Amino acid sequence: MSNYPKYCRDKAREELPGMIGTGAASSAVPVPGAFTVGTTAVQLYVVKRIAEIYGVNVEELPGGVKAVVTAVMALGIGSTLGTLAGEAASFIPVVGWLAKPAIGAATTKAFGEATITYFEKIYPDKVYIPETM
C-alpha cells in the first residue's frame, strides 16, 4: 500500500505506455483509411480508461465518450495532425509504412496527455482510488 495515495494523473501516466503501444500496433496496416480507423478506436479506449481512473463513467455523460473525445481534441491539434500524417504515410511505400507505427504512438501519447489535462481541469489533484479498495 506504499504506492498510495497517488494522483489520478500519475496513475493515468503509468498506464499510458500500454495505450501508446496499442496506438502503434493499430497504425501498422499500410492501407489508406486504416490509420484513422485504428487511431480513433484507440482514442475512444484512451478516454474511457483515463475517465475510469478519475472515477468517471463516460457512458453516463451527455454525449458519452464521443463528447469527451471531441472536447479533448479541442485542447490541441496534435492528434488531428498525427492522423493526417499517418494517412499521408500510407501513400509512401515502405518508408511511410514503417513510419506509421511511430506516428500512431506519438499521436496516442499526445491524445493521452490531452485527455489527462482535460480531466485534471475538471478534477484537479484528484487522488486515485483503486476499484479493489
Which grid cell is 6?
497517488
Q: Tens digits of per-residue pLDDT, 39-50?
A: 888 888 998 999
Structure confidence by residue, pLDDT tens digits, 19-36: 999 988 888 877 778 788
- The domain spans of the chain are 6-122
pLDDT digits (tens, 9 = 90+) for 75-130: 655 566 677 677 777 667 777 778 888 888 888 898 899 899 989 999 999 999 98
Question: Which DSSP string corresponds to the chain?
Answer: -TT-SEEHHHHHHHHHHHHHHHHHHHT---STTHHHHHHHHHHHHHHHHHHHHTT--GGGSTTHHHHHHHHHHHT-SHHHHHHHHHHHHTTSTTHHHHHHHHHHHHHHHHHHHHHHHHHHHHSTTPEE--TT-
Please state whether the peptide bond connecting residue 130 to the residue before it is cis, i.e. omega within 30 degrees of 0. no
